[in-house]
Amino acid sequence: MKAMRLFKPADVEANPLRLVEDEVPQPAAGQVRLRVTTCGVCHTDLHIVEGELVPPSLPITPGHQVVGVVDALGDDVGSQVKIGDRVGVTWLHSACGLCDFCVKGHENLCPQARFTGYNLNGGYAEMMLAEPRWILPIPDHVPAEQASPWLCAGIIGFRSLRLVELQPGECLGLVGFGASAHLAIQVARVWGCRVFVFSRSIEHRRHAEELGAAWTGTIDDTPPNSLDRAIIFAPAGELVPKTLQKLRPGGTLAINAVVMSTLPSMPYAQIYGERTLRSVTNATRQDGVDFIQLAVEAKIRSTVTVYDLEQANLALQDLKHSRINGEAVLVL
């Protein structure tokens, strides 16, 4: 089995992922094995590869936006999944199911949660293991390279829209326009919202306009009117006070980033007026179920650039330097 594995974090320009030949993993009790079809390339993967997010142990195979086909079952799997099922794997590999967070449906906050491509080997490989309770069914008519970005970029963007409590017809600001934002804008447009996009990249701003942005500019530009809600996707703390300046009283700003540079000090006046600032942490399985249903019904389209498995380092380099619109996807 081929896999792109991280043995030691390093700048992605040094090609730290190494192609290895490994034994085919065998599912233990309560696990299934997937033959991987596609795997999206996420900014979280970049954080792991470059050492900003340190896995509990190394080596590790990254990748957590996986579309694959079940090809082996461990004991005690039950009838919820069968060989031949087409499924998706997300960042959340598993949660304890017993803590207060899990009982209340907030397994994304479970202190015992484990994550795909971080605690366990992920989808930068021909095969991987998963737990049936946490995988998601993928409709047969959705191309795999379209579905992979849904499984993190789409789901976490959808959760962000929920957490800012976006209402139909409101004005939404998206700060940074990569994989997640290019799907979130489509959901917001389905809900009849005006979307203003802030990005340093001319290409990304052009992409946003193609997807229906009402206005685009940089964070230092002034949009036509104040924002009802906003989401920051770029992992740069200095963007927080600049975005709050554009948010109306009573509005909400969410930070959608697993790693973020230090937030600068700012005058209290920038959050005064009952503005809300909150983070987005992982996502629940129900977020995944709901987003996939919406994506299918609303015909949400992923903009993708396709790479071979062996090109995973290159895909991460292109992601780091904003050389792609939408998302990079490894196709096996």
Asked if residue 292 is part of any domain, the answer here is no
- According to the model, what pLDDT value does residue 78 have? 82
Domain count of the chain?
Answer: 2
Q: What integer pLDDT is reported at residue 198 of this predicted model? A: 98
Do 73 and 158 belong together in one domain?
A: no
The 3-state secondary structure of 269-304 reads: HHCCCCCEEEECCCCCHHHHHHHHHHHHHHCCCCCE
Please tell me the distance from the alpha carbon of residue 6 to that of residue 52, in angstroms, as a whole number. Answer: 14
Q: What is the pLDDT of residues 105-148, one digit of tens each?
A: 999 999 999 999 999 999 999 999 999 999 999 999 999 999 99
Residue 186 reports pLDDT greater than 90: yes
Residue 285 within a domain: no
Structure tokens at 2: 């081929």
Answer yes or no: is 217 within a domain.
yes
144 domain-assigned? no
- Residue % of the chain over a pLDDT of 90: 98
pLDDT mean over 176-190: 97
- Whether residues 8 and 128 share a domain: the answer is yes
Residue 264, pLDDT > 90, answer yes
Which of 112, 18, 12, 94 lies closest to 59 in space, CA to CA? Answer: 18
Domain contains 316: yes
In this prediction the pTM is 0.95
Model confidence at 251: pLDDT above 90: yes
Distance between CA atoms of residues 9 and 54, nearest Å: 8
Q: Has residue 287 been placed in a domain?
A: no
- Residue 30 within any structural domain of the chain: yes
Q: Are residues 124 and 165 in the same domain?
A: no
Compute the 3-state secondary structure of the chain and give helix, strand, coil in percent, each to the nearest 5: 30, 25, 45
Closest CA to 193 of 223, 143, 227, 236: 227
> In terms of domains, do 125 and 158 share one?
no
pLDDT at residue number 81: 93
Mark whether 161 and 267 lie in a shared domain: yes
pLDDT, average across residues 189-212: 97
User: How far apart are the C-alpha atoms of 309 and 122, rounded to whole Å?
Assistant: 13
**What b/e readout covers 180-217, taking b as 16+ CB neighbours within 10 angstroms?**
bbbbbbbbbbbbebbbbbbbebeebbebbeebebbbbe
- My answer on whether 191 and 273 are in the same domain is yes
Looking at the fold, whether 10 and 68 belong to one and the same domain comes out as yes
Place of tokens 């969410």: 254
Which stretches of 157-275 are assigned E, i.e. beta strand?
171-175, 194-198, 215-217, 227-232, 247-255
**Residue 91 — φ and ψ, nearest 5°?**
-60, -40
The enclosing domain of 227 has a CATH number of: 3.40.50.720
Q: Which residues lie below 8 Å from residue 96, measured CB to CB, with a gap of 6+?
A: 102, 110, 111, 112, 113
Sorting pLDDT into bands at 50, 70 and 90, what band is 94? very high
Identify whether 143 is part of a domain: no
Are residues 167 and 123 part of one domain? no
With 0-12 / 13-18 / 19 or more C-beta atoms within 10 angstroms meaning exposed / middle / buried, residue 138 is buried
**Residue 128: what pLDDT?**
98
Rounded to an integer, what distance in angstroms lies between the CA atom of residue 245 and that of residue 230? 11
pLDDT tens digits for 293-330? Answer: 999 999 999 999 999 999 999 999 999 999 999 999 99
At 79, the pLDDT band (50, 70, 90 cuts) reads confident
Asked if the model's pLDDT at residue 80 lies above 90, the reply is: no
| Residue pair 229/166 in contact by the 8 Å Cβ criterion | yes
* Strand-pair category, 215-217 with 276-279: unpaired
Token representation of residue 156: 């976490």
Where does the pLDDT of residue 231 fall: very low under 50, low under 70, confident under 90, or very high at 90 and above?
very high
Specify whether 259 is located in the same domain as 158. Answer: yes
Q: Mean pLDDT across the stretch 261-281?
A: 96
In 10-126, DSSP assigns E strands to 17-21, 32-41, 66-73, 86-89, 92-94, 114-115
User: Based on the domain organization, do 97 and 220 belong to the same domain?
Assistant: no
Q: CATH no. for residue 17?
A: 3.90.180.10
Q: What is the pLDDT of residues 35-75, one digit of tens each?
A: 999 999 999 999 999 999 999 999 999 999 999 999 999 99
Which has the closest alpha carbon to 107: 254, 259, 285? 285
Within a 13 Å sphere around the CA of 153, how many CA atoms are in the beta-carbon half? Answer: 37
Residue-range definition of the domain harbouring residue 134? 2-138+302-331
Say yes or no: 134 and 158 in one domain.
no
Whether residues 32 and 109 share a domain: the answer is yes
Q: Provide the mean pLDDT of the chain.
A: 97
Give Cβ neighbours of residue 265 (< 8 Å, ≥ 6 apart).
none
